[in-house]
Amino acid sequence: MELQWSIITLYIPFLISLLALLLLLEQLSYLKKKKFLPGPSLVFPFIGNAVSVVTNPTKFWDLQSSYAKSTPLGISANYIIGRYILYIYSTDLSRKIFANVRPDAFHLVGHPFGKKLFGEHNLIYMFGQEHKNLRRHIAPNFTPKALQIYTNIQQRIILKHLVSWCRMSQNKSIPLRILCRDMNLETSQTVFVGPYLNEESRKRFNVDYNFFNVGLMKLPIDLPGFAFRNARLAVQRLVETLAGCAEESEKKMKSGVEPTCLIDFWMQDNLRELSEKKSSEYSHREIGGHLFDFLFASQDASTSSLLWAVALLESHPEVLERVRKEVANYWVPENDAVITGEQLREMKYTEAVAREVVRIRAPATMVPHIAGVDFPLTENYVIPKGTIVFPSVFDSSFQGFTEPERFDPDWFMEERQEDRVYKRNFLAFGAGAHQCVGQRYAINHLMLFIAMFATLVDFKRDRTDGCDEIAYVPTIVPKDDCRVFLSHRCSGFPPLA
């Protein structure tokens, strides 16, 4: 026993020296990659600043933005769980990254550890012709005919939830974040897969999506009992559920009935391709995976925009009044008619409000990419291969615009056309080959919500100190979850009793 202990004590100094050497090499590697860029001079061993990202993401990313703005280059550096990261403030450099998504440059990942969550074969990881082919197949899902069917669904669900929210409020304030999230989840499910999810499937779907949402904000520990593992397994179940919906839709479309949801339009086009090529390009499971991409892209981003729309309209009564007047020219709820696609397109100011909400509070503030090669970003700096790069679409939205901190929908009106002059700084929907394919659907949803909420509901914020500060969940929302008092204001509003 004494001999064993003597041997152990003999090796302890060597182990300590080896550990010290590894820590030194880690710091030297970080400093070599960082070079002259602003950022922390020393990072915590192995995990870097991962704890800060998880415990206070708002503070962490604000600090990265401050670092980046402190230099004309518009870049800052940091280190998270063994990965060197770059934060991009400069719009020009962000656009350069978006324009170079290809195998020998940058790989869009959507989340720093996204491939573990979403799987390898995923829309956001595709390049070249494969990516173009998939986007071509997706296009029929967003034609004017399809969008009109979606707007009918969206309005029915929005109205149902507004009635419920007013009942819940009854002279007391209620936080809207989870309520908006639930409304959007029901909207996405119904628009995307319509009648193919029964009530039991929807309940399981909601539970699994919550696992996924929680896991997005946790450390990527893929072990039983950890939130990240729960999220990864939940994604697999969600994809299987959506694959089953695709299979059921295909059977229905073979009978020649008209499409009633997004997957029907996709399967209708798929069957047309099948008749021409004699073989299908995508399996039901692949389509289920792509449907989940849509859900992920639309769900939390839409929730963020709806909350900020309420917050910004309440704090800008002159904008709210203009919206109400414009909507009244096209839609009278007492007539019990839905807002048509043509009417929606005529609501120019309401669309300007929607776009200004997205500009000033871009829901997904950053779009993570991984450098597949050493990439010369500027004359003086080469991004090392394997770096996770975060172009900030949030920061871009405040570059170029006159008084960028001011909420001013008129910038997006045709007579001003400031959105065209500074279009390159409006990156909320991305840019390049991977620009959001469903942005018209997203803007329509936000416009419908603004039009109906402003027309049917009287609302007032339950203001507290810091209520409008930004919180990450993982998209950005008001810190107080947008707590409001609600009551119905329109005779056409369904009775609350």
User: For the segment 134-170, what is each residue's pLDDT rounded down to a tens digit?
Assistant: 888 788 888 889 999 999 999 999 999 999 999 999 8
pLDDT at 492 over 60: no
Query: Does 262 share its domain with 114?
Result: no
Annotated binding site: 436
Residue positions forming the annotated binding site for heme: 436
Q: How many CA atoms lie within 13 A of 451 on its CB side?
A: 30
What does the pLDDT look like over 382-402, one tens digit per residue?
Answer: 999 999 999 999 999 999 888
**Helices 284-315 + 317-328 axis angle, to 10:** 120
Given a cut of 60, whether residue 495 has pLDDT beyond it is no
pTM: 0.87
We report the CATH number of the domain holding residue 178 as: 1.10.630.10
**Sole residue written with tokens 């659907």:** 441
| Same domain? 385 vs 402 | no
116 and 161, same structural domain? no
Indicate if the alpha-carbon torsion angle 202, 203, 206, 208 is positive or negative: negative
User: Which domain, by its residues, includes 29?
Assistant: 1-120+368-391
Provide the pLDDT confidence category of residue 11 given band limits of 50, 70 and 90. Answer: low
Q: Which ranges of 170-283 would DSSP assign to H, the alpha helix?
A: 177-193, 199-216, 227-254, 262-277
> What is the domain count for the chain?
2
* Same domain assignment for residues 95 and 227: no
As a whole-number percent, the residues of the chain with pLDDT over 90 amount to 46
| Residues 271, 297 within the same domain | yes
Q: Of the candidates 93, 90, 44, which has an alpha carbon nearest to the alpha carbon of residue 67?
A: 90
Once rounded to an integer, what is the mean pLDDT over residues 32-56? 82
Residue 9 has pLDDT above 70, yes or no: no
Residues 105 and 208 in one domain: no
- Whether 420 and 375 map to the same domain: the answer is no
127-130: long-range contacts, CB 8 A cutoff, minimum separation 24: 127/101, 127/102, 127/103, 128/102, 128/103
pLDDT of residue 477 exceeding 90, the answer is: yes
Same domain? For 475 and 443 the reply is yes
Q: Say whether pLDDT at 14 is over 80.
A: no
Tokens standing for 231?
Answer: 């999220």
pLDDT band at 496 (very low <50, low <70, confident <90, very high): very low
Q: Are 319 and 421 in a shared domain?
A: yes
